[in-house]
Structure 1
């Protein structure tokens, strides 16, 4: 018969244990106490989190504030999808310069509007050079709204090419002839033509003359400085 009584065993099980704090291994004093709660006989020691863990937590929290502002709230940085789209667009923009001859006529411009890859190149060029005056979605700022049915110096899709290439100095529209190759200018004209009928976030009032829907039979416009 053992000398250990049932009472001694029960007292041992119920007695809160104490063990050296983890910091003792580094020469610091102190003991970790058992927390008062109990879950199916499982007890928890009151050990603080390691300093390095807390430091990483707070560092990530502090980093998240400017990160959120830069990429989401401020609209300055590009998201992953926007960055990818920009790079792909730049690639197709470079490829557009190697397309060879593209006729700057209504039929070619209207056909290009249905080519998503080529329009991505046009969109990249538009956002890089035209969005300042016409807004990224074509709604218009200092330049006219490109999404409605009213145009200045434009009666047909090929007129867009002429305006983009030669500019309209009296209206503050620069020439892009030296910046882009002729095929790139045709693609840019096709993208601008495709903005018609879209819904911008903030549409500027209509300017110029209201014209019929795009058609290969449309009559070219005579240039005006209105």
Structure 2
């Protein structure tokens, strides 16, 4: 089976399609989320990655068999230029789009990896675990949210982040130069929980629904 790069593209509301290069995620960027998982609040940003095959631009979520998968709703940034941010103020120029996404997490496996002080990659990178929607040019300043079966489970605002969009881009790009097409999941608020087969999932911001997904299938 060949490696089809077209499978790893995201779309902007303008119709532009962008090839994804890397998927980065910041951990514990909302104080209440760190507390609900009994973690300390970080003094500086820390990041993990999701694999490229974890990208999911569909309207379906597939749950691995016999695994406890948690949803984590987040604002996701699309990077529009390559290089290193020279200052925090310069960092906004790297952003080519905003959307709402879901970082799906194999929580029990992640906890095992944490206990062994091992990287989280395998608990974060199963197929379809990086859910993203269509990107827009406008910053998402309204509260963003996720609903499961019509019930709001998470809702917050980027103003509640420990590290802003600019902070994240500046810090990350000075460790790993960013590339056009990189995605950054910017952190999840409190309220994470388990997904179950046949759940109806909605994500959006303010009064705007941007994606409806069905947890309607199970894969290995």
TM-score by length of 2: 0.22
The answer to which structure, 1 or 2, has the higher relative contact order (CA under 8 A, 6+ apart) is: 2
Q: Which structure: greater strand fraction?
A: 2
Give 1 or 2 for the bigger CA radius of gyration: 1
